[in-house]
Amino acid sequence: MAAPSLSQEGRENQREEWSLEDFEIGKLIGAGKFGKVYLAREKESGFIVALKIIFKEKLDKYQYHNHLRREIEIQGSLEHPNVLRLYAWFHDETRICLVLEYAAGRELYKLLQDLKCFSEKRASTYIASLTKALAYLHEKQVIHRDIKPENLLLDSEGRLKIADFGWAVQSSAKRHTMCGTIDYLAPEMVEKKAHDYAVDNWTLGVLCYEFLYGVPPFEEEDQGNTFRRIMKVDLKFPATPYISTEAKDLISKLLVKDSSQRLSLQKILEHPWILKHADPSGSCNAMV
């Protein structure tokens, strides 16, 4: 299935190019605040996709139209092995439909729930894949701002895909909107200061910790206590013989309060822990 143009001209013609009649709708594979996601097949080509159907009345209720427009523009412009593709979109009187790449593997957060924590090989492979994807985004002046297990999918080969761009922004200027998910917020966001690309580097440190220990590093039952721990960078490594010194070193160099001092994405890929453990193919299907 060829992806229709997402240029301005292409967007104006979306409704003429596609409709729900062009797809065989299969099983429900996801549901969210604004709609549902179905497995679908494009009738003419037989191409398998994920069809995200968003209800306009929900967008009206939460005043989300501009937010969704920005998400579509950003994700539709991206093409990277570790970013879920947005092939096309169209709408009718009541719905907006996104034609998305189908990631046939598991949702990463469910895999983490089942395994409790990841091996260093699996964790490092996911972190390397995420780092490469974020390097691509940052080159395009896109800050993701909400990297977390719930927003990551796996394809049939076990390769990671960033799947949600709801809080992403395309800008070279510093931003001021506090957004994202509490456990993954960088200190500058918690303190309501201006932020830039370095918030994504911080989140890589949080995820690396969570992949290895099973919980985010600053998680507390009380939101205020979580915020206080983030602002203090109250980082504690539980005693365990299974986590290497190199892994702790990488985490410590990412979870740094001064955003300018966080390890760069290039330095993450050159870090000894990544070089030693990460599978260059990005595939995790055969890992334990």
| pTM for this prediction | 0.90
**Catalytic residue chosen out of the listed positions 22, 146, 155, 279:** 146
**Residue 47 near residue 4, CB atoms below 8 Å:** no
* 92: annotated active-site residue: no
Q: State how beta strands 160-162 and 23-31 pair.
A: unpaired
- For the chain, domains (ranges, CATH) are 8-101 (3.30.200.20), 108-277 (1.10.510.10)
**Residue 170 near residue 197, CB atoms below 8 Å:** no
Least confident segment among 4-13, 172-181, 243-252: 4-13
Confidence class of residue 14 from pLDDT cuts 50, 70 and 90? very low
Question: Whole-angstrom Cα distance, residue 203 to residue 255?
Answer: 8
pLDDT value of position 75: 96
Question: Whole-angstrom Cα distance, residue 200 to residue 48?
Answer: 31
Q: Give the mean pLDDT of the chain.
A: 89
Question: Whole-angstrom Cα distance, residue 114 to residue 117?
Answer: 8
Confidence class of residue 61 from pLDDT cuts 50, 70 and 90? confident
Confidence class of residue 29 from pLDDT cuts 50, 70 and 90? very high
**Residue 153 near residue 105, CB atoms below 8 Å:** yes
Q: Which residues of 128-142 are buried (b: 16+ CB within 10 A; e: fewer)?
A: bbbbbbbbbbbeeeb
Q: What's the start-to-end Cα distance of the chain, in Å?
A: 35
Report whether pLDDT(121) > 80.
Answer: yes
